Chains A and B, each alone.
Chain A
Amino acid sequence: MREVYVIGIGITSFSRLEYPLSEIAAYPAMMAMRDCGIEKVDHLYVANMGASRVSGQTALASAVVDTLSLTPAGAEAIENGPASGASAIKQGFMAVASGLHDVVLVTGAERMREVNNLEATDFVATLTHPIAEYIYGTTLPSLAAMFTRLYMDKYGVTSRHLAMVAVKNHDNAMNNPFAHLHQPITLEGILDGPEALTNNPFVSDPLRFFDFCPVSDGAACVILASKEVADKVKRPRVRLAGVGQATDTHAVHEREEPTDLLAVRRAAEQAMKMAGIKPSDVDVAELHDAFTILEIVESEEVGFFKKGEGHLALEKGETRMGGKIPINPSGGLKAKGHPVGATGLGQAHEIVTQLRGEAKKRQVKDAKIGFTCNFGGFGNNVVCLTFMRED
């Protein structure tokens, strides 16, 4: 297997983007190509979850490759639910590692705010089990809520811990110009104050409004290349050192231990093993906090903390900027935003920016090894990636 390097990156603001989806996908690709000074690529992967349903566009990859005038390069769309982004990176990794291609452009885009909030909720809910979950009105927030209740009962996680994740990530996003939410929040305003219940109402108890990520448009891109190509690019060298993926039962209620996210555990193990690292070697991580509880649980499942102790580490500030292992310096999905198909690429963009030392006010000091966890479904299809700075 050949080594694979990230030579260029690009991103849009995660907010509301009132452009055609193909242009949203193309814009970060242009930035990434300028970033590394590459004009031609061998192949494109376009990550997206809802183009055909939400944006009314099929065969997105053909539109994107043409928008970028990169024809006749091959192009494919990758759909793997909310893990589409990291899945597409994994495809790009395989293409370069196998020797099939030397330069692969992986871009991901989503335009969710094209539809109203009720339709966006329903669109994401269609990834649940059609017979055993969806027909009951199940949405991702409700699955997360039932999971949270089990976790609270078993491990003593409280609403305060969840609110702490939200406050931390809103604070981090203040230093990220691409983040969707530039709005600091306080524990008093969302939890303790006399009006907190109205500011932060229950959406699906025990989860409340500020436990959820916003609905965002957005796109991000990475360009992957072989060592020979990377040697010619004058940018700090970041290697995609490990990829891992695992699945779990489609219906959440079927899992043997309902508080485990086995797919996260297995995907993380693979991604770290391939890179030859331990969880404690990771300097900075982007975890998939579509719901605040997920940041806590994933931080345990990927191995940063013992099972059931993620919330204690959070209390001690270990996941904060400047802590032992800063999690979601970008603001995470919670505050940076969650354009579903683009999220995995957004995470990779942040980690590469961090490892290059170009994250400015949100820079994690001396970050050499970065990790991402892109969580598809409610944990039924998870892709993890390990990135390493090489000097």
Chain B
Amino acid sequence: MAVELEQILRPIDHPYPPFPPKFMQVASGELMVIRQVTREEIPDILPHVEPLIHVERDYYDIVSVRVYAELLGYYRHRVQDEYVLVAQINGELAAIVNGRFATPELGVSLHTLALRRGLRIGAHAFAAKMEYHLDVVGQKEVLIVAESPIGFRRWMIEYNLAKRFEIPHELGGVPSYALTKEIFDKARGTLVVGRRPVPEDLLKKAQEKILPPSNPPKPPPDLLAATRAAKDPTGTAILLQRWKLARPASQSDAGGQEGTV
């Protein structure tokens, strides 16, 4: 009985061609590999997404909690025709992007999650995802929405996406934007880059193990800070406890970590 029920619950994936891995050089001079991960690799990724659920800044919380759900849904066979690409630098997880194929013609972009900031890694990873839909699979267009202002600026404005407001997007039912082949071709020169094939040792290093991100976004030291800013601009009681004023007087020893004052 249980087996049969699972059979009903589990969607049947259609065969789509895999994403051919590519690599590129990022601003730091390091080489980054973008490749598709298998279902079996998902448990290696989840632990690095989970901490971001508690990072409110830049909407990391809502994006990562949904990515977590989508990755789990993929792993446990609850989302149809989903794929997951990762970007890795020296094996370290730098970005996760995912989406699914609604029909052979129509793609749905789900999420882009950057785990290293300041090198336009998210933009590279997003472009790879679009390349997968339009070039590799040959779809006509991809439906997209943004959940953060950064995303909106990157996708809707930089690519100048078409409006498909009559179609509610799978993410939250909000009006969709669409990337068409034509718009993608215009952006190709500047936004879509990468080299193939990936040198064997580079690819091997990436596939060997997904290493934890070295400097992922972290929650602020005081989870109440954002609330206090609006409601209690001089709420110093909690602050004093946290700052631990007994720290050594030499100020050059204090601070330094991102997020600490």
Contacts and interface: CB of A to CB of B under 8 A. Distances in A.
Same complex origin of A and B: yes
Interface of A: 9-13, 15-24, 27, 30-31, 34-35, 57, 63, 66-67, 113-114, 116-118, 177-178, 181-186, 188-190, 193-201, 209-210, 214, 353, 358, 360
A252 B29 CA distance: 37
Contact of A185 (B29, B193, B222, B249): B29
Given A11-B251, A35-B251, A186-B27, A16 B118 contact: no
Contacts of B236: 23, 67
Interface of B: 24-30, 57, 118-120, 123-124, 127, 149-150, 153, 190-195, 215, 220, 222, 225-226, 228-229, 232-236, 239, 243, 245, 249, 251-252, 254-261
Main secondary structure, interface of B, reads loop
A99 B30 CA distance: 56
A20 B27 contact: no
A183 B190 CA distance: 23
A358 B252 contact: yes
A198 B193 contact: yes
B261 A17 contact: yes
Nearest to B251: A31
A189 B235 CA distance: 45
B25 A15 contact: no
Nearest to A57: B233
A20 B234 contact: yes
Given A24-B261, A199-B27, A360 B252 contact: yes
Q: A17, A21, A353: which has the most chain B beta carbons within 10 Å?
A: A17
Contact of B256 (A177, A214, A358): A177
A10 B26 CA distance: 35
Contacts of A67: 234, 236
Contact of A11 (B149, B215, B255): B255
A18 B27 contact: no
Q: A17, A20, A358: which has the most chain B beta carbons within 10 Å?
A: A20
A358 B245 CA distance: 22
B189 to A, nearest CB: 8
Given A16-B259, A31-B254, 16 more contacts: A16-B220, A16-B258, A17-B261, A20-B233, A21-B233, A118-B153, A183-B119, A189-B27, A194-B24, A194-B25, A195-B194, A196-B25, A198-B120, A199-B26, A199-B120, A210-B27
Contacts of B249: 34-35
11 contacts: A9-B251, A20-B232, A20-B234, A23-B236, A67-B236, A177-B256, A182-B258, A190-B27, A198-B24, A198-B192, A358-B252
A19 B193 CA distance: 39
A298 to B, nearest CB: 25
A205 B259 CA distance: 33
Contacts of A30: 245
A165 B234 CA distance: 40
A154 B241 CA distance: 57
A122 B78 CA distance: 44
Nearest to A219: B261
Given A198-B191, A358-B252, A20 B25 contact: no
B225 A186 contact: no
A189 B261 CA distance: 31
Contacts of B190: 197-198, 201
Contacts of A190: 27
Contacts of B225: 18-20
A19 B232 CA distance: 10
B252 A22 contact: no
